[in-house]
């Protein structure tokens, strides 16, 4: 059974007879999906059929054809895997609060289960929908190992304050998943076949070339996980911060679209015989850092603006508003990677061409945008816009928290005061040179 602490009741409702529907959004997978498992528990308990519905919106937080293509290809795999389980997959196009009430009426849905997402847009969708329907709506955190509302009841100051809370709760929540059953009750009629081409035409997304180095979907995600465990986990602590080597897992696009469960990754990493230190270093990022980002977006309504920064950071950035910036670049110059700094240009180019900038470079990249734009607000706006336009893993709590960490000291402490940054942690070209081979990284990006 799904641990009841993973479930929140969004709205009570009249108990009727009728199928249960999972409204899939963040966690787009069949295996290891607590929202789907809980929806099935409800459907079996009430002896009714079960379906999954995904609502496709034409525009989503600046997503381009690059991200939509990755997502839609992953959803096709979800559809075919669900059909083997007697669980039809429906794809509805339009605003959720408009299309879902129609869907619920048409099929006589008696209860709706949805996955959890701390982004503002999802709370808007859910609140608008809850006004339009009279059935119960339940929300399950299928993304975090520790449900966001259980890990902490407030915004955490840093990983230091958050880590002990996570560690205390892991024994209860880092448990094995039950298997999804072949659903014992068939859907009452043949579900319509999805016209995937028509869905692509429905989108209103700008074109950005798709990436070919990574394949979407659950199967590809698992392959990448086991490849990482066998080949690269051992060197992770040393290589994860070296952009000139392939030391990261490459799992973020799959985690972002929910093609793989972080809990599944943690269970497999915990079993790996790669030594304690590499395992702990990876789980620190995968669980503490990643779930801290959800905590930030869930409890801080201003997670994507200057307003969300800690008081000390707002104060110090205000005090240095009029400092002379050594360079000033417009968004277009930054986007085309035409600055005086070849290292920064390479990071920008890596993101544009590959759709995934190396994690270490993302910090340097964002901090230089603060240094080379007229204000912290413009810096944050440009960083979010470029990040979400090109990164396959963009539009994610990790991104908003990562950019707020880099520019606004969120989850960080004050450092020695300096021009423009004030007490926000500074990163320099020379600092990078002392950590890794810059020329090698630049050459690697040129060769992409």
**Least distance to ligand FAD, CB of residue 84, Å:** 29
**Least distance to ligand FAD, CB of residue 333, Å:** 19
Pairing mode of beta strands 137-140, 50-56: unpaired
261 touching ligand FO1, by CB under 6 A: no
Instruction: Between 256 and 358, name the residue whose CB sits nearer to ligand FO1.
Output: 256
269 touching ligand FO1, by CB under 6 A: no
- Options 2, 19, 26, 89; binder of ligand FO1; rule CB under 6 A: 26
Render the burial of 303-328: b for 16+ CB within 10 Å, e for the rest: bbbbebbbeebbebbeebeeeeeeee
Mask: binding to ligand FO1, 153-182, rule CB under 6 A, as x and -? ------------------------------
Distance CA 80, CA 183 (A): 15
Interface ranges with ligand FAD (CB under 6 A): 240, 248-252, 255-256, 285-286, 289-290, 293, 359, 362-363, 366, 387, 391, 393-394, 396, 398-399, 402-403, 405-406
CB 53 within 8 A of CB 23: yes
Judged by CB under 6 A, which stretch of 67-75, 152-160, 327-335, 438-446 contacts ligand FO1? 67-75
CA distances from 353 to 25, 88, 205, 368 (A): 27, 36, 18, 20
387 binds, among ligand FAD, ligand FO1, none (CB under 5 to 8 A by kind): ligand FAD
Please give the angle made by the CA atoms of 25, 26 and 29, to the nearest 5 degrees: 85
Instruction: Between 59 and 186, name the residue whose CB sits nearer to ligand FAD.
Output: 59
**Least distance to ligand FAD, CB of residue 77, Å:** 20
CB 49 within 8 A of CB 17: no
What are the helix (H) ranges across 33-183? Answer: 34-45, 65-83, 96-107, 120-132, 148-151, 159-173
144 binds, among ligand FAD, ligand FO1, none (CB under 5 to 8 A by kind): none
Chain-centre distance of CA 256, in angstroms? 3
Instruction: Between 198 and 302, name the residue whose CB sits nearer to ligand FAD.
Output: 302
396 touching ligand FO1, by CB under 6 A: yes
110 binds, among ligand FO1, ligand FAD, none (CB under 5 to 8 A by kind): none
Total residues at the site for ligand FO1 (CB under 6 A)? Answer: 15
**Least distance to ligand FAD, CB of residue 52, Å:** 24
CB atoms within 10 A of CB 106: 9
Name which of 427, 381, 137, 174 is nearest 283 in CA terms. Answer: 174
Mask: binding to ligand FO1, 70-109, rule CB under 6 A, as x and -? -x--------------------------------------
Q: How far apart are the first and last CA of the chain?
A: 46
**Least distance to ligand FAD, CB of residue 416, Å:** 20
Tell me the DSSP string of 175-213: -PPPPPPPPSS--SSPPPPP-HHHHHHH------PPPSS
- Options 33, 67, 126, 373; binder of ligand FO1; rule CB under 6 A: 67
Binding site for ligand FO1 (CB under 6 A): 25-26, 55-57, 60, 63, 67-68, 71, 117, 119, 257, 395-396
């Amino acid at each position: 059974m799904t641990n009841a602490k993973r479930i929140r009741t969004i709205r009570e409702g009249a108990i009727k007879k009728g199928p249960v529907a999972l409204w899939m959004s963040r966690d787009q997978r069949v295996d290891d999906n607590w929202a789907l498992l809980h929806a099935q528990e409800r459907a079996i308990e009430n002896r009714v059929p079960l379906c999954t519905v995904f609502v496709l919106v034409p525009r989503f937080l600046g997503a381009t054809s690059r991200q939509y293509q990755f997502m839609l290809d992953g959803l096709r795999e979800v559809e075919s895997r669900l059909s083997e389980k007697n669980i039809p997959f429906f794809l509805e196009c339009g605003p959720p609060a408009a299309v879902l009430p129609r869907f619920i009426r048409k099929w006589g849905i008696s209860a709706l289960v949805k996955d959890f997402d701390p982004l503002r847009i999802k709370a808007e969708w859910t609140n608008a929908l809850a006004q339009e329907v009279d059935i119960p709506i339940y929300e399950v955190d299928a993304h975090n190992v520790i449900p966001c509302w259980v890990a902490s009841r407030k915004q955490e100051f840093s990983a230091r304050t958050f880590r002990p809370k996570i560690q205390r709760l892991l024994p209860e929540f880092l448990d094995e998943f039950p298997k999804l059953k072949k659903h014992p009750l068939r859907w009452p009629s043949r579900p319509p076949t999805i016209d995937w081409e028509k869905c692509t035409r429905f989108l209103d997304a700008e074109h950005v070339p798709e990436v070919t180095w990574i394949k979407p979907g659950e199967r590809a995600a698992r392959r990448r996980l086991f490849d990482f465990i066998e080949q690269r986990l051992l060197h992770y602590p040393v290589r994860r911060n070296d952009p000139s080597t392939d030391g990261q897992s490459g799992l973020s696009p799959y985690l972002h679209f929910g093609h793989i469960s972080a809990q599944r990754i943690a269970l497999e990493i915990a079993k790996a015989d790669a030594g304690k230190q590499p395992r702990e270093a990876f789980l620190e990022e995968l669980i503490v850092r990643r779930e801290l980002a959800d905590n930030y977006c869930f409890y801080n309504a201003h997670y994507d603006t200057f307003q969300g920064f800690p008081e000390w950071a707002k104060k110090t950035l205000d005090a240095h508003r009029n400092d002379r910036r050594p360079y000033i670049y417009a968004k277009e110059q930054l986007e085309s990677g035409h600055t005086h700094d070849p290292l920064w240009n390479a990071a920008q180019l890596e993101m544009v061409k590959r759709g995934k900038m190396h994690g270490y470079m993302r910090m340097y990249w964002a901090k230089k945008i603060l240094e080379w734009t007229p204000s912290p607000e413009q810096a944050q706006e440009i960083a979010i816009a470029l990040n979400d336009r090109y990164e396959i893993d963009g539009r994610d709590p990790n991104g908003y928290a990562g950019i707020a960490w880099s520019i606004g000291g969120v989850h960080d402490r004050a450092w020695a005061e300096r021009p423009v940054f004030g007490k926000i942690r500074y990163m320099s070209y020379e600092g990078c040179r002392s950590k890794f081979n810059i020329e090698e990284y630049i050459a690697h990006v040129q060769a992409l």
